[in-house]
Amino acid sequence: MKVIQEAFDFNPEKMYPLSEIADRRDLLFFDIETTGFSAKTAEIYLIGCVWYDRTKDGAEGDHGTSGSGWQLIQWFAETPGAEKEVITAFFGFLSRFRVLIHFNGDMFDIPFITGRCAQLGISPEFDALESFDIFRKIRPLRSFFGLDSLKQKSVEQFLGIRRADEYTGGQLIEVYREYVTHPTPARLHLLLLHNADDLRGMPEILPILFYPDLLAKAEFRFLGITIPDRSAAYSDSSKDVPANAGRTDADIFILKNANAVQGDAFHLHTDFAELRFQSSVSVPRPVDWKENFFPIHFEQNEITVRLPLVSGELKHFYSDYRNYYYLPAEDCAYHKSVAEFVEKSARKKATAKTCYTRTEGVFLPVPSGIFPVTFREDYKSTPEFCEAKEDLFRSTDLSGFLPALFAGIRQKLRA
C-alpha cells in the first residue's frame, strides 16, 4: 500500500461556512476509486480524504484564513491484494471525526465499502459518524440550476471551478489494471490526480448549498420597485424631468400606466414592474427561474421579481358570501344591509362564485395571501391580482412575498 499526503491550501472564507455543518475539526471529506460498480465483483484501489489538521495551523484552536491546516491523504493499493490494508487504514483514520462529507456517497461510496467489508471479513466503522451527502442536498434543485447532470464535474463547471483531471472514474479502471501489471509514474499520476481533484473539489463546491439555503431559510428585506426605462420621461432619476422630483418609484409607476386601460378587454402589457429584495443568503452564480407568472432573477444577495402589467376588468370575491345578495342585472354582489332594499325578484342569494364586485383598472399578478384585497378573472382562477395603486408597495407588508413564491418553487422541485 502506498500512502500519499500533502497540504491542501485553500481559503475557507471564500467557501460555504463550515460551521453550518459542524466544527471543521470534526469534518472529513472522502472519496473512493474502484475497479467496477458492484462490490461483489470489483475492488477498491484508492481511498482519499481531506481534513483539517490543527497541528499544521499553529496554535490549537487557531481559526486563521490561510488554510495551511488542511491536508489531503490517499491510500493506494498498488496491487489488488492490498485492498484490505487500504480499507483498514481508512477506518483507523476515520475514528478521529464526527461528520463524513461526500458526493453521492450515500448511494455509492459507503455501500460499496460496506459490501467490500463483507467480502473481506472487515467490520464497517460508519455507525458512529454523521453522513453529509452534498449530492442529496442539491439533487432536488437540478432543474433550478438548469443542469443536464448533477455529477460533481457538472457542479464544478456551474460554479466556475477548473480541475486538471480530464478522466472519469470508469475510464481509469483500465489505467489501474495497466498499472498493476506495468506500474509507471505516469499511470500513478493519473489515478491519484482524479481522486485528488474530486477531493479538492468537494470543499470548493460547498457554495452550491447556498441555493437550498436561500429557498428554505433566508430572510428578506424589500428594497423597492423600479420601472425599466422605455423613455427618460418615466425615470425618477432623470434630471431632465423635474416633475418627478420627490416621487417614489411606485408613484411614477402609476403615472406611467394611468392610461393603460383599453376598454373592457383583459390586456397584457409589455410593461412590467420589478420588485427588488435583499436576501440574507448570497448565491455564488446568477440563476433565473420562472415561477408561474413571476420571472425571478437571483444574483448574489439581490433578488428581482418581474410583475407583468395587465389592464381590464377583474373581480374581487368576498369570502362571507352568505351575507351578500347577487344582483344579476348589475352582475355584482351587495351586502345584505344594502341589498335588502332591492326588490326580491331582482336579487338572489349570493354563492361563492357570484359574490363579487367588478373593478376596471391596471393590475399586477401577486402570490396568494400577501395583499388584503385581490382580484381574479373568475372564481378560483389564477393568478390573483392587486390594483396598481399609488400606495400599493408602501402600505403592504411584503415580508411574505418571496416565501410564498419559494414555497411553490420547492414544491415543483420536489415533484
331 within some domain: no
**Domain co-membership, 192 together with 271:** no
**Domain co-membership, 200 together with 157:** yes
**Domain co-membership, 225 together with 106:** no
> CA dist 382 to 256, 293, 367, 368, Å?
26, 9, 9, 9
Grid coordinates of 1: 500500500
**Domain co-membership, 386 together with 239:** yes
122 within some domain: yes
345 within some domain: no
Among 144, 176, 211, give the residue marking a domain's end.
211
pLDDT tens per residue, range 351-407: 999 999 999 988 888 888 888 889 999 998 888 998 876 567 767 778 888 888 888
323 within some domain: no
What whole-number distance in Å separates Cα of residue 279 and Cα of residue 17?
17
Among 180, 211, 242, give the residue marking a domain's end.
211
392 within some domain: yes
What whole-number distance in Å separates Cα of residue 93 and Cα of residue 313?
70
pLDDT by residue for the chain (415 residues), tens only, comes to: 999 999 887 766 678 999 999 999 999 999 999 999 999 999 999 999 999 987 765 544 443 334 468 999 999 999 999 999 999 999 999 999 999 999 999 999 999 999 999 999 999 889 889 999 999 999 999 989 988 899 999 999 999 988 887 788 888 999 999 999 999 999 999 999 999 999 999 999 999 999 999 999 999 998 887 643 333 222 333 333 333 334 334 333 333 433 333 333 445 555 777 889 999 999 999 999 887 778 899 999 999 998 888 888 999 999 999 999 999 999 999 999 999 999 999 999 999 999 999 999 888 888 888 888 899 999 988 889 988 765 677 677 788 888 888 888 888 887 6
184 within some domain: yes
**Domain co-membership, 201 together with 223:** no
pTM exceeding the 0.75 threshold for the entire prediction: yes
DSSP sequence for 222-278? EEEEE---SSGGG-TT-TT-GGGTT--HHHHHHHHTTT---TTS-EEEEEEEEEEEE
**Domain co-membership, 38 together with 186:** yes
**Degrees, nearest 5: CA angle 126-67-150:** 55
- Across 116-170, the runs of DSSP E, i.e. the strands, are 130-133
Expressed in angstroms, the distance from the first to the final Cα of the chain is: 46
9 within some domain: yes
**Domain co-membership, 106 together with 206:** yes
CATH number at residue 132: 3.30.420.10
Structural domains counted in the chain: 2
**Domain co-membership, 182 together with 288:** no
pLDDT tens per residue, range 312-355: 899 999 999 999 999 999 999 999 999 999 999 999 999 999 99
Give me the residues paired with residue 7 across strands: 71
Among 179, 211, 243, give the residue marking a domain's end.
211
348 within some domain: no
**Domain co-membership, 195 together with 231:** no
**Domain co-membership, 308 together with 389:** yes
C-beta atoms surrounding 27 within 10 Å = 20
Domain span at residue 314 reads: 218-318+355-414
**Domain co-membership, 168 together with 52:** yes
**Domain co-membership, 204 together with 243:** no
**Degrees, nearest 5: CA angle 325-327-329:** 175
| Contact predicate 48/30, CB 8 Å | yes
